[in-house]
């Protein structure tokens, strides 16, 4: 497998992780009824709305076919419904269709067509499309690799509250890619993403406390964020890194410090990652 294909697969895994969140938001904004547990019923509810030329119903049908929920998974059918919605100007459908072309799902891979639909969503100020565009520039996928351009698009999306864009921007300030190195800025963006439940940002915030980068060194808060990240993560790699960090930090901490960190982590998770640190 060549490096380009590896980059595509890495990109797509992240993109579709977020696309599910964004699509869920679009459904919550829609007027039509939607059952999160009975997808077959949902499909039947959307059909008559689609016959009324409803762009959100078009999109929702595409989403169901894309994910095989309530209907057999069928990427070509997903493209059909996404396109109908996208042509009516629905930004979420536009970037979803762009992703299908980017990934070559249900169609041949076509970067020009992917960019066409992504740009239409960007023209509407869609923050997910801005984040995707930034990721394409970061990986050099369909465009020339350009870290500064990636940072520009991540910033636009991050300022609108997109958590993965906030995390990505944090990593760029942390590493100095595309922007001058700035640990305080990295901490700022990691924290914003961490408070939205991004486990990788929670872990990275913990590492900043380990090293005293952008914040005073604090083993209790490093332990707390590693604990939170490990409990919140669905990615096995993040879970392992968090466990390793917990083990290394506990060697430097007293019993009372570990107990304090564990209590903070418990409260942090209970409060949905808001107000986690000491007052």
Buried b or exposed e, range 4-43, using 16+ CB within 10 angstroms? eeebbeebbebbbebbeebbeebbeebeeebeeeebeebb
CA of 105: how far to CAs of 11, 100, 101, 122, in Å?
Answer: 14, 5, 7, 22
Asked, for residue 184, whether it belongs to a domain, the answer is yes
CB-based burial label for 53 (10 Å; 0-12, 13-18, 19+): exposed
pTM for the structure as a whole: 0.84
pLDDT band at 38 (very low <50, low <70, confident <90, very high): confident
Question: What span, in angstroms and rounded, lies between the C-alpha atoms of 75 and 68?
Answer: 9
Contact between residue 79 and residue 113 where contact means Cβ atoms under 8 Å apart: no
Q: What is residue 37's predicted lDDT score, i.e. its pLDDT? A: 56
Q: What is residue 270's predicted lDDT score, i.e. its pLDDT? A: 96
Rounded to the nearest integer, the mean pLDDT of the chain is: 88
Q: Are residues 7 and 131 in the same domain?
A: yes
In the predicted structure, residue 94 carries a pLDDT above the cut 60: yes
pLDDT band at 44 (very low <50, low <70, confident <90, very high): confident
Q: CATH number of the domain at 110, please.
A: 1.25.40.10
Asked, for residue 138, whether it belongs to a domain, the answer is yes
Asked, for residue 163, whether it belongs to a domain, the answer is no
In the predicted structure, residue 34 carries a pLDDT above the cut 80: no
Q: Name the least confident of 10-24, 42-56, 195-209, 247-261.
A: 10-24
Question: What span, in angstroms and rounded, lies between the C-alpha atoms of 10 and 23?
Answer: 20
Interval 42-60 mean pLDDT: 91
As given in the structure block, the two tokens for residue 25 are 């938001």
- The more confident residue out of 8 and 217 is 217
What is the torsion angle, in degrees rounded to the nearest 10, for the CA atoms of residue 10, residue 12, residue 16 and residue 17? Answer: 10
Q: What is residue 13's predicted lDDT score, i.e. its pLDDT? A: 38
SS3 231: helix
Instruction: List the domain range (segments joined by +) for residue 98.
Output: 3-145
Question: Long-range pairs for 146-155 at CB < 8 Å and ≥24 separation?
Answer: 146/178, 147/172, 147/177, 147/178, 147/179, 148/178, 148/179, 149/178, 150/178, 151/177, 151/178, 151/179, 154/130
pLDDT band at 31 (very low <50, low <70, confident <90, very high): very low
Q: Are residues 132 and 93 in the same domain?
A: yes
Contact between residue 170 and residue 149 where contact means Cβ atoms under 8 Å apart: no
pLDDT in tens, 188-244: 999 999 999 999 999 999 999 999 999 999 999 999 999 999 999 999 999 999 999
In the predicted structure, residue 63 carries a pLDDT above the cut 50: yes
Question: What span, in angstroms and rounded, lies between the C-alpha atoms of 8 and 1?
Answer: 11
pLDDT band at 260 (very low <50, low <70, confident <90, very high): very high
**Domain count of the chain?**
2
As given in the structure block, the two tokens for residue 101 are 């072309």
Q: Are residues 13 and 139 in the same domain?
A: yes
In the predicted structure, residue 155 carries a pLDDT above the cut 80: yes
Q: Are residues 251 and 120 in the same domain?
A: no
Q: What is residue 5's predicted lDDT score, i.e. its pLDDT? A: 33
Q: CA 146 from chain center: how many Å?
A: 20
In the predicted structure, residue 131 carries a pLDDT above the cut 80: yes
SS3 108: coil
In the predicted structure, residue 18 carries a pLDDT above the cut 60: no
Question: What span, in angstroms and rounded, lies between the C-alpha atoms of 152 and 131?
Answer: 10
Q: What is residue 43's predicted lDDT score, i.e. its pLDDT? A: 84
In the predicted structure, residue 171 carries a pLDDT above the cut 50: yes
Q: Are residues 127 and 176 in the same domain?
A: no
Percent of the chain exceeding pLDDT 90 equals 80
Question: What span, in angstroms and rounded, lies between the C-alpha atoms of 57 and 185?
Answer: 41
Q: Are residues 137 and 187 in the same domain?
A: no
């Amino acid at each position: 497998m060549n490096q380009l294909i590896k980059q595509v697969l890495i990109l797509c895994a992240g993109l579709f992780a977020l696309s599910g969140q964004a699509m869920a938001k679009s459904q919550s904004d829609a007027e039509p009824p939607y059952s999160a547990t009975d997808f077959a019923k949902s499909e039947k509810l959307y059909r008559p709305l689609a016959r009324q030329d409803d762009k959100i119903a078009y999109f929702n049908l595409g989403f169901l076919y894309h994910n095989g929920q309530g209907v057999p998974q069928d990427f070509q059918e997903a493209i059909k419904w996404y396109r109908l919605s996208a042509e009516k100007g629905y930004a979420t459908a536009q970037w979803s269709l762009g992703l299908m072309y980017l990934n070559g799902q249900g169609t041949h891979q076509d970067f020009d067509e992917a960019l066409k639909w992504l740009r239409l969503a960007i023209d509407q100020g869609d923050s997910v499309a801005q984040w995707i565009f930034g990721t394409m520039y970061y990986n050099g996928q369909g465009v020339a690799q350009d870290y500064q351009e990636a940072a520009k698009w991540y910033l636009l999306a991050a300022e609108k509250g997109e958590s993965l864009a906030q995390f990505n921007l944090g990593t760029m300030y942390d590493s100095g890619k595309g922007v001058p190195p700035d640990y305080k800025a990295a901490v700022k963006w990691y924290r914003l993403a961490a408070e939205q439940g991004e486990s990788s940002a929670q872990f990275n915030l913990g590492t900043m406390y380990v090293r005293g980068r952008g914040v005073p060194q604090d083993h209790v808060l490093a332990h707390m964020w590693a604990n939170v990240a490990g409990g919140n993560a669905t990615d096995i790699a993040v879970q392992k890194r968090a466990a390793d960090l917990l083990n290394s930090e506990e060697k430097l901490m007293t019993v009372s410090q570990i107990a304090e960190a564990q209590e903070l982590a418990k409260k942090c998770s209970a409060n949905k990652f808001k107000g986690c640190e000491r007052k």
